[in-house]
Amino acid sequence: MRVFKELGKYSSLLYQGLRSSTEFSTYRKNLFQELVKVGYDSVPIIILVGIFTGSVMTLQSAYQLESAFIPLSTIGAIVSQSILIELAAVISGLVLAGKVGARVATELGTMRVSEQIDALESMGFNSVSFLVVPRVLAGILMFPVIYIVASVCGLAGGVAAGYFSGQVPPADFLEGARMYFYPWDVAFGVVKSFVFGFIITSIACYKGYFATGGAEGVGNSTTQATVLGCIYILLADFILAALLL
């Protein structure tokens, strides 16, 4: 019963957001701020995650495929395919469920329990348009960019790890990557990152917007936003793979 109630409240918040998305003048300024916070501010951690994911993947693949019968370019093919189809989107999503999701839920939760959202409504603002719409839009718009940054860094990390470990020369790595490159893989990754961006920001907004009970309540809503964000990313990943691949 509680699940349906929560689902109803979540849908209602999204509906209100959709209905008020025409009030561009209200959230325009906030949207640009959120694009910076969600996108630009996440770039350093995404570069780090991308490089290390690509590096580790290359070293482990080289270790597992050590055979005279398997060409070294296979490693480049496996690493690039894994990064473009799965790792860049999912690992970035999980990391940002923590970074962006937690920030959004804490921000809105604190605003809720300190009556700042009531203050906005009292002044005549549409608080959903002012607070929720720019955050969700920023998630949807910036996650594909983050996916591309993570993919490029992952591939660069893979090439670098192969070169510096002496196990995969860059030419072999890139030959394998090129041989098995399909534009649809990138399109699939972009679609996934759109969905993940929406999931992370909308759940975080929902949990923060309806937070209750002071500091402990804000803590709980932040934890729930992060955990639910991760769970629904994995679930959405499975559903999208089943539907689109």
Q: Please, what's the b/e burial string for 159-177 (b: 16 or more CB within 10 A of its CB; e: otherwise)?
A: bbbbeeeebbeeebbbbbb
Does the protein bind other proteins through residue 121 (CB under 8 A)?
yes
Is 168:162 a contact under the CB 8 Å cutoff?
yes
Does the protein bind other proteins through residue 116 (CB under 8 A)?
yes
Does the protein bind other proteins through residue 125 (CB under 8 A)?
yes
What does the H/E/C string look like for 65-84? CCCCCCCCHHHHHHHHHHHH
Count of CB atoms situated within 10 Å of the CB of 183:
8
- Nearer to other proteins (CB atom), residue 74 or residue 129: 129
Does the protein bind other proteins through residue 123 (CB under 8 A)?
yes
- Nearer to other proteins (CB atom), residue 170 or residue 214: 214
- Nearer to other proteins (CB atom), residue 104 or residue 161: 104
Residues 86-115 close enough to bind other proteins by CB under 8 A: 114-115
Specify the DSSP element, H or E, that contains 45.
helix 43-64
Instruction: State the minimum distance, in angstroms, from the CB of residue 126 to other proteins.
Output: 7
Of the residues 18, 119, 171, 235, which one makes contact with other proteins according to CB under 8 A? 119
Is 166:200 a contact under the CB 8 Å cutoff?
no
Specify the DSSP element, H or E, that contains 114.
none
Residue with tokens 């804490």: 106
Of the residues 124, 166, 242, 243, which one makes contact with other proteins according to CB under 8 A? 124
222 vs 226: CA distance, rounded Å: 6
Tell me the two tokens of residue 5. 């109630």
Instruction: State the minimum distance, in angstroms, from the CB of residue 110 to other proteins.
Output: 8
Does the protein bind other proteins through residue 216 (CB under 8 A)?
no
Of the residues 40, 64, 70, 118, which one makes contact with other proteins according to CB under 8 A? 118
Residues 152-211 close enough to bind other proteins by CB under 8 A: none
Residue with tokens 């008020």: 20
Of the residues 42, 55, 73, 126, which one makes contact with other proteins according to CB under 8 A? 126
46 vs 55: CA distance, rounded Å: 14
- Cα separation values, 167 from 66, 73, 156, Å: 9, 11, 15
Does the protein bind other proteins through residue 122 (CB under 8 A)?
yes
Binding mask of the shown chain, residues 16 to 35, with x at each position contacting other proteins by CB under 8 A: ----------x---------
Does the protein bind other proteins through residue 151 (CB under 8 A)?
no
- Nearer to other proteins (CB atom), residue 18 or residue 119: 119
- Residues found near other proteins in the complex (CB under 8 A): 26, 114-116, 118-119, 121-126
